[in-house]
Every structure is written in structure tokens, then in C-alpha cells.
Amino acid sequence: MANSGSTAAARTAAPSRTSWRPRAGYAQTLGAGAFLALLILYNALFNGDVFLNTQSLRLNLTQVAPIVIVAVGMTLVVATGGIDLSVGSVMAIAGAIAPLIFLSDASLLTLPFVGGALAYAVPVLIAGLFGLFNGWLVTAFRLQPIIATLVLFVAGRGVAQVITDGRLQSFREPDWQFIGLGRVFGVPFQAILMLCVVGVAAWGMRSTTFGRYVLAIGGNAAAARLAGVPVGRVTAAVYAISGLLAGLAGLIVIAINSSSDANQVGLNMELDAIAAVAVGGTSLMGGRATVVGTLIGALIIQLIRFTLLTQGVGDAVARVVTAAAIVVGVLVQRRRTP
Amino acid sequence: MIETANHDLLLRMEGVTKAFPGVVALADASLRVGRGEVHALVGQNGAGKSTLMKILNGAYRRDGGTVVLDGSPIDFRSPKQAQAGGISTIHQEINLVPYRSVAENVFMGREPRRFGMIDWPRMNRSAREILSRLNVGVDVTQPLLRLNVAVQQMVAIARAVSFQSKLVVMDEPTSSLDEREVATLFAVIRGLKADGVSVIFITHRLDELYEVCDRVTIMRDGRTVEERPMGEISKLELVATMLGKELGEVRRTGQTGFGESQRHGRGVLLEASALSRGRALRDASVRVDAGEIVGLAGLLGSGRTEVARAVFGADPVDAGEIRFRGESARFDGPGDAIRAGIGFCTEDRKAEGIIPHLSVRENLTLAALPVLARAGVVDRGRQREIVDRFMRRLGIRAAGPEQPIRELSGGNQQKVLLARWLCLNPKLLILDEPTRGIDVGAKAEIQSLIDELAGEGLGVLMISSELEELTEGGDRVVVLRDGRTVAELSREAATQDAIMAAMALGPAQPEAATDPAIA
């Protein structure tokens, strides 16, 4: 032992030192960050009059916040090797339930704060339960995530329509709508919420047992199980978190719109979220994830659209360019995965 | 043989270098293989064998050096190019498509065609021909996944043979084969040799080298250190050269450490009796005392791994009793078993052991996270401390704790997985083929580590296909056959012959094979 120990020491440069080097995932996140910086620089230099004013900065943040919040949940799901197609429908469900509560005439709900608080908490929790349902399908029946979450993708919007009787619910509840219209020191409240979600998730993935378990499951579920990782519980929890965050995003969207339309809330959100995750550098095969990357990915997609639209390029073309960005993101990622 | 080799070289690799981030994999490697020669390539884990072969078959590009095949310099950019150039590789892990038929796997990518369509009758006929030359009689139309691993391996060989290669690289082809299949493989190798095909043969089983190889190239730390005719180097010298040690040092240290007094009277740790589950386990029993190394022997499919998984709570059992430290212990899952103080190193490192993308640090502490965390938050400082301690204690070779584990050699990966359990200070460690696919040096290190830990009171249940490992390392050997415990041999009674007799013949002569004092 002693003998090979010496050769080991010779080959291992100072094993106790922090021999940090960017891992494949981080390297792509850096690349994505650099690209985002270029986009911002371009807009600042050549598009300054439309880009560099508080109004459009706020607009961009307002638009991107729900996508980022949903995409953070999606990042966790994708990190386990799964996918969640139901997020848009779950947003619609949460968006359908909230007005029922704050518009209700029931005496309890008209008390100050109670109705508003419940109108935040109940829809989000119910969304979380729908997420848990996804997780249950995936873990208890070993359904493939894409199929398991397709169930709610299809059925969820129907549920939302049944809840609202298929009617558009319009409202004016300035206090409650703070979540979508409020500002703190001039910054849209949902942007702050978004940063909190990103911060907590990024820290959680890095530093908690739960976060490490998520990556272990995505990297090799069989090995994780044999190492004592509670694979079923963690996987189900990840889908529940995705549901909770989708619910939160649903509330933001209806607050911005001052109306809830079960047909529109969260439409195509699953695609936006998956795109942000992919561009940000999270491996769609699972096992590698970066929450900050997802934030950057969502910002890149948002800024590409903004840039093209303000330059007078049509929405149709903007979609094609967005698609191209996704392809480039995924290709770069594949090149780094041997 | 040397003359032939020098005058009629098929392959000449000279001064090959290759560096990866943080590690120089090849410093100065050379390899010369004659036409129609079976050439052994040996070395410890991380010596650079696999890297050299990957450069040869185009999976990696070399940084420097020359490679000449059949008189002309080559620089393959992909394994496919190498295959077209006459070099086929058979990997340790089988690279075939499980859901397609045997014939499709043999001819994948170059199916015989007729009018633009796959000519199924011709393909099946040709596949049958090739396989019957290898003495494998299987239905070539059935999907590969229905066959056992050994037959799958033969299909992989059939595929390589069918390419009309000049050079076939076999990277540990025998690790999943039984004796008879190995004999068949050797017959195939001799057949290739007779046809003028050269073979590079990588194995960790020394006996096999002497049986089939003409010459041997020994690598150490990324360099070629020796090239000799097989008949002119003794096993001991071979191992010593591989390890870079003097002859006397090679012997295992642990052997002298066995003291009967040390090993007995520490109490029963694990007692599993009459385990049964479906057809895999029918009546399997095993007992492990504290401080004891119990070998678990049996052929593939005898239920060895199933016993281990049942004890560890990874698979349920239909019937039987498991007692651990005096208490009934039917664990609901591995988590429960781990909390009770059991560790389990799996047989299949890649599929069930490592989390490839995660770092050495994360892999090492995966099972210990609940212990290392406060309120779910991992204590980085303690984690780092444990990782450093065990990397040093086990001599894990890596660029650092943050290197992804998939970049490590097999032996170092195995050490990380051992450390995953050892850092939890377990009472019982179950090792399923702990030294499979590991070079002799790391093997000796791991074996003496196991001895040392048993000396400290750890109970070890060690599954192994290598009889030597069982007879040398075990205090007792339990033999399984068709899911039943058929013999329990004391250290003295556990000769290789006795174990083999029990594995093969089972209950036919259990009295002769069982030591009455123990059973």
C-alpha cells in the first residue's frame, strides 16, 4: 500500500487543495452567460433608445419572470432525467382557482387579508398536489415522465375550464394583484420573486442533501438506490415542486392580465420552460443541472425575441430564431458530453 | 517468435503521448504486434492500456507519436474508420443493441441487401455460420437480451470476426465468461491466429495470458516498460514489473495477519437462513461473524448476487429469515440496511455503482449525506475532510476530489465505491466481485484493505468468481448452486478443488465437501 501511495501522490497534484476546474455543465453556463452579455451589449449599443429605459426593462422582467419560475421547477425535473409537460395546464388550474376565492362572497373570505392570503396559498398548494400526482404516476407505476405528465397536460386545462365553467373571469383587486403588478423600489415584484426562487433553488441544488440526491438520481438511479437514496420520495417531491412553482407562475400571469382565461393561461409554457432549461446548459438526459443557467437561458430567449420584435422583425421570424438558439444550445452541450 | 515479430510487424506504435485535463494518461507508450501474433497488454489501472487502445481504434486522438499499421502510418478519427482499416475492438462492456436479433447485431450497419431491402435469409444464414464456427449454437433470430451475458459476448466476438479484421483488440473479453466459454474463446483466438489475424489481448487473469499469448507488453504510469516473449517471464516477475516493485514485495500482506484467535468469538453478525425468492433463491443460508471474511462462491446464476441483494434490502424475499446483530432484519430498502450498518459494493460498477457525471467527492459521500447534513444542508467542511482522508487512505488516484468519477480507471472507481461505505464505518460489508476488471496492483491493495478491516472487526461477505480470492482471503467459504446453499467450507477445507466440486456437483456429495465442525 505504501508503495502505490507514493506513486499516487506523485500523480495527484496536492489532493487537499481546491483543484477547481469548470465542469462541463458550468462551462456551458459560462458560454450562455457570455452570449447573454453580448445580447445586452448589442441592445445597449444599437437598440439603446428602446432597450435602455425603465419601461422596457420592466417589460422584459415582467414577461420573463413566470417563465423563469416555471423553468426552475422544470430544471429539477429534468435533472432527475424526467420532464414535466403539465406545467402550462397546472398554471391554468391555479389561475382558475384563485379568483374563485378572492371574488367569493363567503363571509370568511371577505375578512381583510384572509381571502387574499388564501387566494395565494390554496391555488399554489393545489398545483403542488397536481405535481405530486405526476410524481406518483412516475414513481408508483414507473410511467415514462413524458407520458405521465401528458395526462395532466391534456386533462389539466379541461379541469381549469370545468372550475370556471369555461368563462373568462375578469377582476380588479389591486391588493391581491400586487404579485403581478406591484413594484418594490421600482422593480416589478415578480422579478424579485423570480430571483428569490432562483437563489433558493440554486443554493438548494448545491448545498442540500435533497439537491445532491436529485442529481444522483438523474445520473444513475439504480446506483443512487443502492446508496440508500430514497429515489421514489425525491422524484415525487421534484414533480411536486414543479407543480408548486407552476401554480405560483399561474397566479402572476392572471394578476398581470387582470383576468383568468383557462384557455390562455400558461399556454405553451412547457415549451418555453424546456427551451430555457436546454439553452441554460442542463442536460436533458438528467444528472447535470444548473439553475442559474436556466435563468440565463430564459433571459437569452426573452432578449432575442425582444431584440427582433423591436427591430421590426415579425413574430413568426422571431420564433424561428428562438428555435435556432435552442438548437445551438443543445449542440454545444452535446459536444461537451463524450 | 521474436524473429517473426520483428521481421513481420503488423502494428507499430511508438512514443505515443496523450494528456487529459489534470492527468497525463500516456507519457511514452509503444506497442509492437507481429502478424498472426496474440499479444498480451498488461498493466495496473491507470497504466494507460485503455487509452492506448482507444487511440489505436480512433476513439481518442493522440497528442504525439507514430502509429504504423501494415507499413503505412495511420490516424483514425473514429472507431468506424478503424474498423474499415482492419481493426476491430471487443469491449469489456458489451456494445450491442439488446432489442434487435442476434443476426442483426452481427451485421448491424452492413446488412446484406437485395433489391435495396435487407436480405433476411442470407443475413441469418451468415450469422449462423459465423457463430457455429465459434461453437455457439443459438437461434440467431431471437433478440439479444434473451441471451445470457456470456453468449452476448460471443455475439460481439462474432461481429468483430465478421469484419475480416487484420487486428482484433479484446479488452477483458473473459470477465463474464465461465471456464468452458473461455476455452471456446481461446479456440477462436487460435483460429484467428492461424488465419494470420493478430490479437491484442487485455486481461487481468494471469493464467489466461500464459495459455494463449505469444508476447507481452507491460505498461506502467503511461509508459511501456517491458516487452517480452510470454515464455521468458515468470508470473511473479510480470506482476512485479507491472507494479514497479521488487520481487519480494508482491505477496499479500494480509495473509500473515490472519490470527485464528483474532477471528473467533466476536459473535454472530449476520444470519440469513432459508432465503427464497422465485427461481433465483430456493434455500440459501449464510452466516457472517464479526471480524470474519466469508466467501460466497457459485457459478453465474447460482444466486450469489441475489443473496447479497436480499440481505441489503435491495430485493424482497418470499420466505426465509434474516437476522442482523441479533435482531430480525427484513429491510424495506437499502436505506434501512445502510442505517443498520451494512454496505454493499455492487458487481456492476458502471450500471449500479458510480454516478458518472458527479465528482469523486460526491460519489464518495453519497451514502453518507444524511450523516454529513444538518437539517438537510450538507456540511461542506466535514465532507471535504472525509473525502481527503479516504482518498489518502485508499490511495485513490484522481486529478482531485472534483474530477468526475467516470474519468477514473476501474480500480480507482472501485476504491471510491469502497470508501463510500467505509466512511460510514459499517458493521458488515458485502462485496460483489470486488476486484473484477481491476489490475493486480489495485487488487492486492483492495484485498489487503479488506483483511485489515476484518482485523478491526468488520464482517465481510465477499462474492467472487475467482477461486484464488476465496481460498486466500476467506475465513470460510459458502457455496451456492441453483439458489441453494450446498456447502460451507472452513478455511482449511476450502481448497479450490473442494469449492469447484461443490459449485459443479452441489448436493450430490455435500458430505465430502462440508466441514462437519462448521456445518
Q: Which three cell numbers stand for residue B63?
A: 497528442
Q: Domain count for chain A, please give it.
A: 1
**C-beta atoms of A224 and B21 within 8 A:** no
Percent of chain A, pLDDT > 70?
90
Min distance A167 CA to chain B CA atoms (Å): 44
Domain membership of residue A12 (yes or no) is: no
Which one has a higher pLDDT value, B68 or A333? B68
How confident is the model at residue B260, as a pLDDT?
42
- Residues of chain A found within 8 Å of residue B370, distances taken between Cβ atoms: 209, 228
> Which residues of chain B from 228 to 247 reach within 8 Å of chain A, CB to CB?
243-245
- Residues of chain A found within 8 Å of residue B398, distances taken between Cβ atoms: 12, 15
Domain membership of residue A5 (yes or no) is: no
Over 50: is that where the pLDDT of A245 sits? Answer: yes
How confident is the model at residue A122, as a pLDDT?
95
Question: Backbone phi, then psi, for A121, in 5-degree steps?
Answer: -70, -50
Q: Which residues of chain B have pLDDT under 70?
A: 1-7, 22, 45, 92-94, 175-176, 178, 204, 245-266, 300-301, 504-519
Which residue of B357, B421, B432, B451 to mutate against A (max A Cβ within 10 Å)? B357
Q: In this predicted complex, what is the ipTM?
A: 0.83
How confident is the model at residue B495, as a pLDDT?
79
pLDDT digits (tens, 9 = 90+) for B15-29: 999 988 767 889 999
User: How buried is residue B119: exposed, middle or buried, by Cβ count under 10 Å (0-12/13-18/19+)?
Assistant: middle
Cell 430498502: give the residue. B333
Domain of residue A308 covers 23-336
Q: What is the DSSP letter of B423?
A: T
CATH code assigned to B1-86+166-174+200-247: 3.40.50.300
Which residue of B249, B358, B413 to mutate against A (max A Cβ within 10 Å)? B358
Q: Is B71 helix (H, G, I), strand (E, B) or coil?
A: coil
Domain membership of residue A6 (yes or no) is: no
Q: CATH no. for residue A245? A: 1.10.3470
Domain membership of residue A11 (yes or no) is: no
C-alpha span between A211 and A205 (Å, rounded): 4
Q: Where in chain B is the domain with CATH 3.40.50.300?
A: 1-86+166-174+200-247, 266-513
CB-CB: which of A8, A20, A219 is closest to B397?
Answer: A8
Min distance B46 CA to chain A CA atoms (Å): 10
B266-513: CATH class: alpha beta
CB B221 within 8 A of CB A7: yes
Confidence of residue A22 (pLDDT cuts 50, 70, 90): very low
How confident is the model at residue B163, as a pLDDT?
80
Residue in A closest to B315 by C-alpha? A226
CB B483 within 8 A of CB B303: yes
